[in-house]
Amino acid sequence: MNHVYGDWETNFRQLPGYMRALQNCRDGTAVQWKFKKEDETVHSGRKIFRYQRMFTEHNNKNFTPYTDYCYSSSYVFWHFGATRTTFQHSHPVVTVDATHLRGSYKGKAIVAVVKTANDRVVPVAYAIIDEESAHNWYWFLKYLKVYVLQDTFTCIISDRNSGILSAIAKLDSKFPNWGVHRYCMEHIRANLLSSVPKKKGLYALSWKIGTELDEAKYAQAWAELTESSQAAATYLQRIPLEKWTLILDGFH
């Protein structure tokens, strides 16, 4: 496999060259790098994409991951030129989320997706980071704004990760009137069920409250939820309603 496809280290080192080739196509593809200063390749003037690699050597009991063998990290953001055109023909709503990388390298992959005018979900920007910190999320959102959203007033949907909340606050400061931030209902429902005693119907009722546009039906859903679980109603009411209910979010 290594002879045919190369190993992990070789593939990561080739990433800058691959990105350069994409940019040379002149289709509008944009790439932004961030190299940590402790990376010795920066001091040598040669930038190589490196990332923390976890090794598990079961035969060596004295082996310590990240201490005996590790690389310092680099970040990369990219979007393909065609995705700017895609965004121009999409709803001005972008959903962002991060997931763990699998395999030898540990870190996070971020993706931003939109729904097009014909209801297709399409990714418009990507990034590789080491962790979901406020700094890293702002770094991603800044370039998402600059390269994809540009001057379009946009609604960004995400979970309530503290790093994202801090990054959005900084985005508000740096780019006034860029858009609005809303919370993902899937994450809210998952957090609800992990925070209060489970009862039948809570999942469906919380979704009804979040998506209902009829005032009477909205009020009825709240009444049913409160009757079923006061703890669930209290939990949801602590979250600003304009952030996750369609009836109060100002049609964003």
CATH number at residue 68: 3.30.420
Verify that 8 and 124 share a domain, yes or no.
Answer: yes
Domain count, the chain: 2
Mean pLDDT of the chain: 84
Verify that 171 and 71 share a domain, yes or no.
Answer: yes
pLDDT of residue 208: 96
Q: Could you read off the pLDDT of 44-99 as tens digits, one per residue?
A: 555 555 554 443 333 444 433 333 333 345 788 999 988 888 898 899 999 999 99
Helix axes 230-237, 215-228, angle to 10 degrees: 130
User: Do the Cβ atoms of 201 and 228 come closer than 8 Å?
Assistant: yes
Verify that 39 and 113 share a domain, yes or no.
Answer: yes
Verify that 70 and 193 share a domain, yes or no.
Answer: no
Verify that 98 and 175 share a domain, yes or no.
Answer: yes
Q: Could you read off the pLDDT of 127-149 as tens digits, one per residue?
A: 998 889 999 999 999 999 999 99
Verify that 99 and 159 share a domain, yes or no.
Answer: yes
Verify that 202 and 170 share a domain, yes or no.
Answer: no
Give the residue, 72 or 237, on which the prediction is more confident: 237
Verify that 179 and 189 share a domain, yes or no.
Answer: no
Verify that 133 and 238 share a domain, yes or no.
Answer: no
Q: Could you read off the pLDDT of 10-26 as tens digits, one per residue?
A: 777 777 788 888 888 87
Confidence band (pLDDT; 50, 70, 90) for 247?
very high
pLDDT of residue 85: 86
Q: Could you read off the pLDDT of 163-209 as tens digits, one per residue?
A: 999 999 999 999 999 999 999 999 999 999 999 998 889 999 999 99
Confidence band (pLDDT; 50, 70, 90) for 39?
very low
Q: Decide which of 146, 165, 183 is a domain's last residue.
A: 183
Share of the chain above pLDDT 70, in %: 84
pLDDT of residue 172: 96
Which of 83, 85, 136 has its CA nearest to residue 112?
83
Report the residue count for the chain: 252
Distance CA 86, CA 65 (A): 42
Verify that 105 and 226 share a domain, yes or no.
Answer: no
**SS3 (DSSP) at 68:** coil
Sheet with 90-100, edge to edge strand ranges: 30-35, 74-79, 121-129, 108-116, 90-100, 154-158, 179-183
pLDDT of residue 12: 74
Q: Decide which of 183, 206, 236 is a domain's last residue.
A: 183
Distance CA 197, CA 47 (A): 52
Verify that 163 and 189 share a domain, yes or no.
Answer: no
Verify that 48 and 142 share a domain, yes or no.
Answer: yes
pLDDT of residue 72: 47
User: What pTM, to 2 d.p., does this model score?
Assistant: 0.83
Distance CA 73, CA 46 (A): 15
Domain extent, residue 239, equals 185-248
User: Do the Cβ atoms of 199 and 217 come closer than 8 Å?
Assistant: no
Q: Decide which of 159, 183, 207 is a domain's last residue.
A: 183
